[in-house]
């Protein structure tokens, strides 16, 4: 089975389409998304509808929850709060219901999906420099017999191998924060046991123009060019 793994689309339709095109070329069998389909970008409905159209298996992220009901919006910075409120107004009721119904975590065969972490599914940031013992704890906290743990939220990609377990963060499709502006995603082949973080260029200028035209903070557009 070849899995296309991704996270943090954040309403960035151009980046999302570029990643899906790469998946088509790579002959992916199944798509897995670990949350934050919306937030920050100017096309939340379009991104949700593309997830739905492709029947992508997904869990919910903090932006997905907050854009539905403005829950915990005070936990976001000033730019995040503006984007949350804007996205909440733009999202259709049908798409809000879809986001609301997404699970916080999900086990698929021996793969565990969560946006934050098994300890705090929505909000915890697990960075690549976390200790080996902490990664072991995260595996244990799933309380499941798994081979792969997939998390998002940080927008920073990494792959860790702890004994015979894989821990993957595919990075961000729509708003990378590792100083690389290219959309980030991961391909996992369970047959060959090969796992790769991959990057693809997309039309950042077009995306930035959409953000500005929507009246969202200019910072959310400019940061895309730097991957910060």
In sequence order, the 6+-apart residues with CB closer than 8 A to the CB of 68 are 88, 91, 96, 99, 100
CATH topology of domain 2-103+171-226: Purple Acid Phosphatase; chain A, domain 2 (3.60.21)
pTM exceeds 0.95, yes or no: yes
Inter-CA distances, 86 with 11, 34, 90, 200, 215, Å:
12, 22, 6, 28, 9
Q: Greatest CA span in the chain, whole angstroms? A: 49
pLDDT (tens place) for every residue of the chain, 228 residues total = 999 999 999 999 999 999 999 999 999 999 999 999 999 999 999 999 999 999 999 999 999 999 999 988 888 999 999 999 999 999 999 999 999 999 999 999 999 999 999 999 999 999 999 999 999 999 999 999 999 999 999 999 999 999 899 999 999 999 999 999 999 999 999 988 899 999 999 999 999 999 999 999 999 999 999 999
Q: Where are the domains of the chain?
A: 2-103+171-226
Q: Quick one: which H or E segment has residue 138?
A: helix 132-141
**Strand locations in the chain (E):** 2-6, 30-33, 57-58, 105-108, 111-114, 148-150, 158-162, 165-169, 183-189, 194-200
């Amino acid at each position: 089975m070849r899995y296309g793994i991704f996270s943090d689309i954040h309403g960035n339709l151009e980046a999302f389409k570029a990643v899906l095109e790469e998946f088509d070329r790579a002959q992916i069998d199944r798509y897995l998304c670990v949350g934050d389909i919306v937030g920050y970008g100017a096309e939340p409905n379009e991104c949700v509808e593309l997830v739905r159209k492709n029947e992508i298996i997904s869990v919910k992220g903090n932006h997905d929850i907050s854009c539905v009901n403005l829950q915990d919006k005070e936990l976001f910075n000033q730019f995040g709060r503006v984007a949350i409120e804007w996205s909440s107004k733009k999202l259709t009721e049908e798409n809000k219901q879809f986001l609301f119904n997404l699970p916080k975590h999900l086990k698929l065969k021996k793969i565990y999906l969560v946006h934050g972490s098994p300890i705090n599914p929505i909000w915890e940031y697990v960075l690549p420099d976390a200790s080996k013992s902490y990664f072991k704890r995260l595996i244990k906290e799933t309380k499941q017999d798994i081979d792969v743990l997939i998390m998002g939220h940080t927008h920073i990609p990494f792959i860790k191998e702890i004994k015979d377990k894989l821990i993957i963060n595919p990075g961000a499709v729509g708003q990378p924060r590792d100083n690389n502006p290219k959309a980030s995603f991961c391909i996992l082949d369970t047959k060959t046991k090969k796992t790769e973080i991959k990057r693809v260029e997309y039309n950042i200028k077009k995306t930035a123009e959409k953000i500005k035209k929507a009246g969202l903070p200019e910072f959310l557009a400019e940061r895309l060019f730097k991957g910060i």
